[in-house]
Amino acid sequence: MAPEHKRRVAVERVADATPAIEVIAAATRAGAAVAWVRNAVDDAIEALAPLLAAGLDPLLFHARFAMGDRLDTERQVIERFGRNSTDEKRKGRVLVATQVIEQSLDLDFDLIITDLAPADLVVQRAGRLWRHPRGHRPISGPRLLLLSPQPVDDPPAGWLGAELRRTGFVYPDHALLWRSARALLAAGAIETPDGIRALVEAAYDRDDPGAIPPGLASAANRAEGTELAAAGIALQNLLKLEEPYDRDAGLWEPDVRTPTRLGEARVVFRLARSEGGDIVPWYPHEDPRRAWALSEVSVRAARLKGAVEDAAVEGAKTQWPAWDREIPVLLLRPGADGAWRGNGIDPRGQRLTVTYDTSHGLMFGS
């Protein structure tokens, strides 16, 4: 391979958010474009406050925005950090994002801080470092900070700690995370392309002696069982091209309930607001059907199961195609503080207040 296609990204560990924020602040003061990749949307949202307190102006990008707002934010992200972004637009800018920047988007950062994730995903994130030639970089070389506990030889069941508690839900095989941290930090760098295979194999080798520490065995076994169950569900939902299609056969459900990829169950909601006594889509568009589509947001079913709807919402749905009418609507109303709030239903059937704005996305609680 030509030397210009080979890269070495230094990998260093950072123990928690406090030193990560200090590094981000110092790098942006030097003029760097920085990304902090968080594994959970709530962690990304919570990262904004300390960054703002440090005098920074971060941009937040995750999947829990209404689709129209998400597309608007994506355009801002590309303008600031994309291939054609100028030094003036990038200088001292910070992006806090989730896995939405791992693939597809052609972004370029001087420094990345990332929560611990499986090694192959960390490699994907590192691919957004020094991605395009630029005349000047305020940092001496591509550098990735891995927010991770120390991969000690005998990690306890709570090894991830409070800082990465939500990461443990997103990536339930904690032994995989431990092996990933061990491989990345032992190597001290991500070398492409020659070093990638060794990193990924070390992370995913469950059969190597000591690959599953006793303290993490329970989580690893549960994760493996979940993977096997997901594979079975995928086979049941598989459309067999050699057989006639029957809508009532198998486990087929409407799209809002059957995910298009394996993973935890999600619910699609449409956001609406009350305007002059009318119920209108959250995101404006001259075409009402398009406006409703751009007002959709996907939420984990484990967080929000449904919406508290009233007659006004049901009246608005009469204008929808029949196949859309079972999509739940979160009706948002402005409070005295200017925040838009609505009422959802949690998995236990209890009412749950949701808050929405274009800077943070959908949040749970008042």
Looking up residue 26, the CATH number of its domain turns out to be 3.40.50.300
Is residue 142 domain-shared with residue 63, that is, in the same domain?
Answer: yes
pLDDT digits (tens, 9 = 90+) for 248-265: 555 555 554 444 445 578
Is residue 163 domain-shared with residue 275, that is, in the same domain?
Answer: no
In a domain, 235, yes or no: no
Is residue 197 domain-shared with residue 76, that is, in the same domain?
Answer: yes
* Alpha carbons 290 and 275: distance in angstroms, whole number: 18
In a domain, 229, yes or no: no
Locate all alpha helices (DSSP H) within 258-333, ordered by sequence: 288-294, 311-317
Strand order in 34-37's β-sheet? 59-61, 94-97, 34-37, 111-115, 143-147, 7-14, 189-192
* Alpha carbons 25 and 238: distance in angstroms, whole number: 49
Q: Which residue would you say has higher pLDDT here, 339 or 80?
A: 80
Domain's final residue, options 183, 204, 225: 204
Is residue 193 domain-shared with residue 314, that is, in the same domain?
Answer: no
pLDDT digits (tens, 9 = 90+) for 30-85: 999 999 999 999 999 999 999 999 999 999 999 999 999 999 999 999 999 999 99
Position 42 scores a pLDDT of 96
Domain's final residue, options 160, 181, 204: 204
Is residue 286 domain-shared with residue 358, that is, in the same domain?
Answer: yes
Position 257 scores a pLDDT of 47
Q: Which tokens hold the place of 188? A: 């001290």
The model's confidence at residue 148, banded by pLDDT at 50, 70 and 90, is very high
In a domain, 239, yes or no: no
Per-residue pLDDT for 344 more than 90? yes
In a domain, 237, yes or no: no
H-run or E-run covering 215: helix 214-237
In a domain, 240, yes or no: no
Is residue 53 domain-shared with residue 187, that is, in the same domain?
Answer: yes
Is residue 197 domain-shared with residue 310, that is, in the same domain?
Answer: no
Single-letter code of the amino acid located at 333: R
Nearest to 324 by CA among 251, 248, 272: 272
H-run or E-run covering 111: strand 111-115
Answer whether 253's CB lies under 8 Å from 233's CB: no
Is residue 9 domain-shared with residue 154, that is, in the same domain?
Answer: yes
In a domain, 218, yes or no: no
Domain's final residue, options 159, 188, 204: 204
Give the residue numbers spanning the domain of 134: 3-204
Q: Could you give the number of structural domains in the chain?
A: 2
As a whole number, the mean pLDDT across the chain is 89
Answer whether 175's CB lies under 8 Å from 219's CB: yes
Per-residue pLDDT for 229 more than 80? no
pLDDT digits (tens, 9 = 90+) for 150-191: 999 999 999 999 999 999 999 999 999 999 999 999 999 999
Is residue 174 domain-shared with residue 36, that is, in the same domain?
Answer: yes
Is residue 87 domain-shared with residue 157, that is, in the same domain?
Answer: yes
The pTM assigned to this predicted structure is 0.88
Helix, strand, coil percentages in the chain from 3-state DSSP, rounded to 5: 35, 20, 45
Average pLDDT over residues 263-271: 87
In a domain, 176, yes or no: yes
Is residue 24 domain-shared with residue 125, that is, in the same domain?
Answer: yes
In a domain, 214, yes or no: no
Is residue 200 domain-shared with residue 272, that is, in the same domain?
Answer: no
DSSP bridge partners of 160? none
| DSSP type of residue 282 | S
Per-residue pLDDT for 1 more than 80? no
